[in-house]
Amino acid sequence: MSMNSASVIDDDEDIISLYYTRSSVSSTATSASDLDRRNVPTRSSSLSFPTGTPKISNDTLQMPPPPPSLSRTQSKRDAVAAKYDQDRLKVMEARRLYNLKLVAAAEESKIKVAQQREEDERRKEQLVKKVKAAAKARQEELSLPFM
């Protein structure tokens, strides 16, 4: 299938066969502008899969150093990330302290309530003793003969 670059493809079968056989054809069938108008992928936009196993050498495993603008951007990102981590740690510490204060306040409240109960019990016992003493005195007063 050898076509010159000036010919135009009118048939869908020709487009499909051209697309699948493009790698074996040395000359292109249409110009790039014709392919763009027809939404047919060009060689540069189509995927090509390698055949065979790629060989990896030590040279391909090493990354080149980033350009200076990227390293500056990366250092800014690192600084922002470090600031974020510091802020996060501060918030975590503040929450921990707040929770400790809440626990301490709850314990204090329990202690105060227990002390209040003990004091109320003591007052109640004293009041009961006074009432019993007054009742006993009244009983003795009533038991005395009249004069």
Chain segment 126-147, per-residue pLDDT in tens: 999 999 999 999 988 888 776 6
43 within a domain of the structure (yes/no): yes
d(CA 40, CA 26): 18
* pTM score of the predicted model: 0.36
Q: Which domain holds residue 25?
A: 1-48
Range 92-112 average pLDDT: 96
Domain total in the chain? 1
98 within a domain of the structure (yes/no): no
Confidence of residue 48 (pLDDT cuts 50, 70, 90): low
60 within a domain of the structure (yes/no): no
32 within a domain of the structure (yes/no): yes
132 within a domain of the structure (yes/no): no
Amino acid making up residue 16: I
For residue 90, the surrounding DSSP H or E stretch is helix 68-143
Q: Residue 60: pLDDT above 70?
A: no
Range 68-73 average pLDDT: 67
4 within a domain of the structure (yes/no): yes
